[in-house]
Chain A
């Protein structure tokens, strides 16, 4: 008999084995000596002359009834357990979805062990098995898909979670699709740490455990009113009890002295301090606990890209834009021949500025005879004007500039466009302000200021160049491609203390900061483009109060159906049943010779 792949459809039948100790107990008590008077004891003395005591230990010797009943119980349990062997032509797909959430780092070893256990448990479920190991990150490729169990286990061993809170539905849907797309038989298991993450009817194994975690919930670098840079960090206690932790700063001249912070139960404390002099970056550290991902907060001193700007306007308008642009990081006003941004005036007709520019409608002048147009200003759905309030707009209506079909309108007054974007050379776009700038209150309207800042910042960030910033772990890292002069120089992402990898064009479009807190650099060739710090920012990942160990099996109906399709029952089931019945009959058969047998024995005795 081939025992490989043996499984049991009715595991509850093993409870029947409890009948064995019960049987032993029954026989134990039944085997108490019965008193029998004999006239032929002298014959027995000759047969068993030694002190072969019957009560003390002979009770453990198996009697025929005991052996038969024991055999019957074992056979019945075997039959009731419904042993099944894989069909020769059966296939199954086993999908392991590993929770990529950062919180899983606290129980990564347990998760890997659970995954390996599930893989091992599925061995023999069918003649052929396709193993799939994947993360819950819907953007990540499958870690392994194929027939090799060893490779699947290696994929599990290489798994490392680092994602923030995310939706599991896509990955689980993908996993179940892989099962149904194969033979339609198999299982899709989610290995996670919290039952709340598991959708209904999803098989899952929980390996979570409660951790009294205290960690950074975010950090930033800002300018004080004095102009000095300050760092700020939020520390959160996720535990239900008050906690005390030591913290310190590493950076600049070295590590600071340790200080402690007291946090009430579920409390939040903000830490702040002056940016270390001369340092480009610093690291805040907390005394370690069971979850280390949020015990470190790396920060870089933010540095925007440099954008050269030239003002082509005069008077109050020039002063306005000079003040506006001077308040935006990275913008340098000057007289460059080819500035990144220009502010110009145009009299009318089409606007052909060639690059990024703020184009003002020229020719209008502020006068007492200005007629105010009372029609409300309406904004298009666009990032530059999103959320801005134009209620207080006061102006004389649209100017003489004309909007073409390729332009993208932003503000309208009645049927006339007030502001639009016009595509320029090399992907640059100009912001056209088609109204009398001096006549209305646009310059004093906050919405106008914000719109202009957004535009300038968008122009600044869209150009190639180096910048430094602090990012949430896993968040998008904007990269500006070189529109012209494209070279074969490769893009690389260098993670400090980690791997360095090349970035393809597709990945550059959606480059994300590393999942773990730390510093990283993006380079193009030898040219640095981004100096960044990825910081733990998803406070939900640090809360382990609902982490638990649990197991949610697939619906019993599904499992039974899958088992029926991939396995076959014991062909000797009827034989075992008959044998069990025979054993029971034999156990009940009187243990003595019948009358005819006695007569035959007497005849033999006489012979």
Chain B
């Protein structure tokens, strides 16, 4: 990355931190498992939120006997409360060439990573970060990412692989698994989402997109070079081809959205232009991928 890019990525991290002032990851609507924390767990715990009743068993904490029920029925009944846990966050970031080739998308990715880290930190959720490039997953140190930024920590991507779908994306059981990717690779979205959804928890997909990418602006004979693999191909782009391309582009993302909806995966495109907070206020907020900070 050049010095200018680093300056831009630094601004992007600040933009992500600023967005974290307004929005957070949707920790509130989930039942989490994990170490004690400040978020409702999926089992019984010691919080003040009522969870259920059951008959008293020897060894139960007598402080939680339901005295009012005993007075009415003469049976010892225990009041159960929810557990309070700290959710775990698995942040998987697409580090392929297409993600960093466009400065706007690279910056948006940087700001999204910063947003997720800041939001997880506020929730007290430990974060595990992996940079995904094709079929390779590279674990990154959270501290390094916080200090240097995602792209600096991820290093140079593997080139020449072409646009391929990531394989073996998995998160920890019960964790919030966030997949930040432009989704610009062929293949059926369900395969990726099923891998992420395995083990329960929450799956979120954030796709930094470029508005101009939805269309082919130029006309005429083109030498189209794949950013992922560098392979070139000659093709004439006319209005008909441009229209078909645009339709295919939207069809591609509609397929992702429908698949995510069917699999109860939070999915949202995030415009790479403008402030992240403004971008999240749109489709991401409506889809419940982010929540407004109270």
Q: Name the one of B185, B220, B227, B249 contacting A37, with C-beta atoms under 8 angstroms.
A: B227
The 8 A CB mask of B174-194 against A (1 = contact, 0 = none) is 000000001011100000000
Task: Judge whether A44 and B224 touch: CB under 8 Å.
Answer: yes
Complex CA gap A78/B163 in Å reads 53
Task: Judge whether B218 and A36 touch: CB under 8 Å.
Answer: yes
Task: Judge whether B215 and A46 touch: CB under 8 Å.
Answer: no
- Give min CB distance, B270 to chain A, whole Å: 13
> With a CB–CB cut-off of 8 A, which chain A residues contact B215?
592-593, 598, 601
Query: Is B212 interfacial (CB-CB < 8 Å)?
Result: yes
Q: Name the one of A42, A46, A47, A592 contacting B185, with C-beta atoms under 8 angstroms.
A: A42
> With a CB–CB cut-off of 8 A, which chain B residues contact A64?
219, 238-239
Q: Name the one of B214, B217, B226 contacting A605, with C-beta atoms under 8 angstroms.
A: B214
> With a CB–CB cut-off of 8 A, which chain A residues contact B235?
44, 48, 52-54
Task: Judge whether A47 and B234 touch: CB under 8 Å.
Answer: no
Query: Is B77 interfacial (CB-CB < 8 Å)?
Result: no
The 8 A CB mask of A38-59 against B (1 = contact, 0 = none) is 1111111111100011110011
Complex CA gap A59/B249 in Å reads 26
Q: Name the one of A58, A59, A605 contacting B250, with C-beta atoms under 8 angstroms.
A: A605
Query: Is A34 interfacial (CB-CB < 8 Å)?
Result: yes
Chain B, interface size: which category? 35 or more
Complex CA gap A601/B239 in Å reads 15
Task: Judge whether A33 and B222 touch: CB under 8 Å.
Answer: yes
Query: Is A63 interfacial (CB-CB < 8 Å)?
Result: yes
Task: Judge whether A605 and B186 touch: CB under 8 Å.
Answer: no
Complex CA gap A494/B223 in Å reads 89
Q: Name the one of B211, B222, B226, B236 contacting A602, with C-beta atoms under 8 angstroms.
A: B211
Identify the closest chain A residue to B102 (Cβ): A39
Tally of A interface residues using CB under 8 Å:
39
> With a CB–CB cut-off of 8 A, which chain A residues contact B98?
39
- Give min CB distance, A496 to chain B, whole Å: 80
> With a CB–CB cut-off of 8 A, which chain B residues contact A323?
none
Interface residues of B in 235-254 (CB under 8 A from A): 235-236, 238-239, 241-242, 244-246, 248-250, 252-254
The 8 A CB mask of A58-75 against B (1 = contact, 0 = none) is 110101110000000000
Identify the closest chain B residue to A48 (Cβ): B235
Using CB atoms and an 8 Å cutoff, list the residues of chain B in contact with chain A: 98, 101-102, 163, 182, 184-186, 211-228, 231-236, 238-239, 241-242, 244-246, 248-250, 252-254, 283
CB-defined A-B contacts under 8 Å, sample of 19: A32-B221, A33-B223, A34-B221, A37-B101, A37-B226, A38-B227, A40-B249, A41-B224, A41-B233, A43-B252, A47-B244, A47-B245, A53-B234, A54-B236, A591-B242, A592-B217, A601-B215, A604-B250, A605-B254
Q: 16 extra interchain contacts, Cβ-Cβ under 8 A, other than A42-B186, A591-B242? A: A33-B221, A33-B223, A34-B220, A37-B227, A39-B163, A39-B182, A39-B226, A42-B163, A42-B226, A43-B245, A44-B224, A46-B186, A52-B236, A58-B234, A592-B215, A605-B254
